[in-house]
Amino acid sequence: MLIAAAILFAHRSTLNVGDGKPFSRIEDAVKAAQPGDEIRVYPKVGGYKGAAVVISTSGLKISGDTRIVIDGADFEYSGIGQVPRAIFQVNPEADGVTISNFELKGAHNGSHNGSGIRINGASRCTVQDCLIHENDMGIMSNGVVGDLHAASKQLIDHCEIYRNGDFADPGFNHNLYLGGTSVTVQFCDIHDSLTGHNLKSRAHFITVQYCSIHDSSNCELDFVDAWDTDRPNSNVLLLGNIIRKNPDAKGNRTVINFGQERGRRDGTIFLVNNEISTDFMSPVVALTGPNVTARFVNNLVDNLSQSHPVLVGVENGAILSRVSGNSNVLSPNYDVSGTAIDTQTLYADPHLSERLAGHPHRALTFLPSKASYVDGTGTRHEVKPTYRATDRTGWITTHDSFIGAG
């Protein structure tokens, strides 16, 4: 099977879309494409309004020649019959699809979940170099009930995702709403969700690395349950991110929620080399459920606005003593008593806010403690940070130090 697929993809064709090209609509090029083909989208007079692209062919690479804008404002992404719920919808049979270099906006429907992109059970799908904003949802993905491998190895890379949501259904629409077996979100700027979370996930295992995540209306990150998260190693890795709460946030002021919502989750959230800032007393991490815990290594956590802010809150049977970690720098008003966080490697810095403001993202220099995480299969990996996010400006190489010298 793999040999046959390799032979087929070796003969891929390029289908061009745009003024003076063989196809004027992206939908028609996708319908004509064979597995492994490339679809190249060029600008056209009047633009691509109301595009509704259903992808059912594997291995397609769909890309804009420049940043191609698709405005779905005049289309109802209903999900009824053959109509998709997104500008680009990747169906289960379309594994290995890549979508890149688009600006996607204006996708709405009566269910308040019209999306820029929806990965509907497909695996090995990549969304890259896209600007996604002002839809009901930015990107949605889901697995398939009963299939422990569906929607695996999703990758969302170098995207800016912002101002998605719907005031008619507040709190239930998010910049990212992800599910399935495994997801990686990396090098993204995710910010200013209108009514929900910046990133909500029901995936069995998810990595969020080297992202700037900030100014959500609710939680910055919300990791909860699905039909398959009651199995062990339904874990989360947060690596090298900058996470900042909006000091004027009106919704849920918890920074990160990890646990159960209406089912069960069994796993650990690993926080390594992140910079987290909040002005609220609400937890940096809320653990909700008896089978979830957290490990903190080499993080900066800043809050000088509250006299008794909460690092980890526990609800619904979560056990504070199972929270562990080492080599973290916290504002001095954080209390880690009751946890198993190593106080011998806990650095309380009363001038942390000022140092971060004066020298953003290069405030401290020290070699990180060794860190590891466990993926969704139960395999342990050593963490070797390569990059560090900078707030809205890009990424810098850390050379395996916490924030980098200079």
Q: List, for residues 172-230, the tens digit of each pLDDT value.
A: 899 999 999 999 999 999 999 999 999 999 999 999 999 999 999 999 999 999 999 99
> 3-state class of 325 per DSSP?
strand
CA distance 162 to 134: 7
CA distance 306 to 309: 6
| Per-state percent for the chain, helix, strand, coil, to nearest 5 | 5, 40, 55
Is the pLDDT confidence value at 364 over 60? Answer: no
Q: Considering the chain, what percentage of its residues have pLDDT values greater than 70?
A: 87
Residue 283 is classified by DSSP as -
Is the pLDDT confidence value at 397 over 70? Answer: no
So what's the architecture of 13-397 in CATH? 3 Solenoid (2.160)
Cβ atoms of 208 and 185 closer than 8 Å: yes
Residue 139 is classified by DSSP as E
As a whole number, mean pLDDT of residues 231-251 equals 94
Q: Which residues contact 188 (CB under 8 A, 6 or more apart)?
A: 156, 157, 158, 159, 160, 161, 211, 212
**Tally of residues, the chain:** 406
pTM tops 0.85, yes or no: yes
Burial class (CB in 10 A: 0-12, 13-18, 19+), 220: buried
Residue 151 is classified by DSSP as T
Q: How confident is the model at residue 274 (pLDDT cuts 50, 70, 90)?
A: very high
CA distance 87 to 72: 7
Of the listed ranges 127-141, 244-258, 337-351, 392-406, the least confidently predicted one is 392-406
Residue 262 is classified by DSSP as S
pLDDT averaged over every residue in the chain: 90
pLDDT of residue 394: 59
Q: Considering the chain, what percentage of its residues have pLDDT values greater than 90?
A: 80
As a whole number, mean pLDDT of residues 60-87 equals 96
Closest CA to 181 of 205, 160, 156, 207: 205
CA distance 137 to 179: 14
Is the pLDDT confidence value at 4 over 70? Answer: no
As a whole number, mean pLDDT of residues 89-98 equals 98
> 3-state class of 108 per DSSP?
strand
> 3-state class of 245 per DSSP?
coil
Of the listed ranges 29-43, 180-194, 362-376, the least confidently predicted one is 362-376
Of the listed ranges 24-28, 114-118, 253-257, 343-347, the least confidently predicted one is 343-347
Q: List, for residues 144-175, the tens digit of each pLDDT value.
A: 999 999 999 999 999 999 999 999 988 889 99
pLDDT of residue 390: 61
Cβ atoms of 106 and 73 closer than 8 Å: yes
pLDDT of residue 53: 98
Tokens of 1: 């099977």
Tokens of 25: 């609509």
The type of residue at 34 is: Q
Q: List, for residues 299-325, the tens digit of each pLDDT value.
A: 999 998 899 999 999 999 999 999 999
pLDDT of residue 401: 40
CA distance 320 to 311: 11
CA distances from 105 to 68, 98, 139, 286 (A): 11, 18, 11, 32
> 3-state class of 4 per DSSP?
helix
pLDDT of residue 104: 98
Is the pLDDT confidence value at 366 over 90? Answer: no
As a whole number, mean pLDDT of residues 131-135 equals 98
Q: How confident is the model at residue 352 (pLDDT cuts 50, 70, 90)?
A: low
294 or 387, which is more confident?
A: 294
Is the pLDDT confidence value at 254 over 80? Answer: yes
Residue 55 has, within 13 A of its CA and on its CB side, a CA count of: 31
CB neighbours of residue 182 within 10 Å: 20
Strands 380-383, 371-374: pairing kind:
antiparallel
Residue 406 has, within 13 A of its CA and on its CB side, a CA count of: 6
- Which residues make beta-bridge pairs with 346? 328
Q: Give phi and psi for 353, each to the nearest 5.
A: -60, -45
CA distance 301 to 353: 10
pLDDT of residue 11: 61
Q: How confident is the model at residue 38 (pLDDT cuts 50, 70, 90)?
A: very high
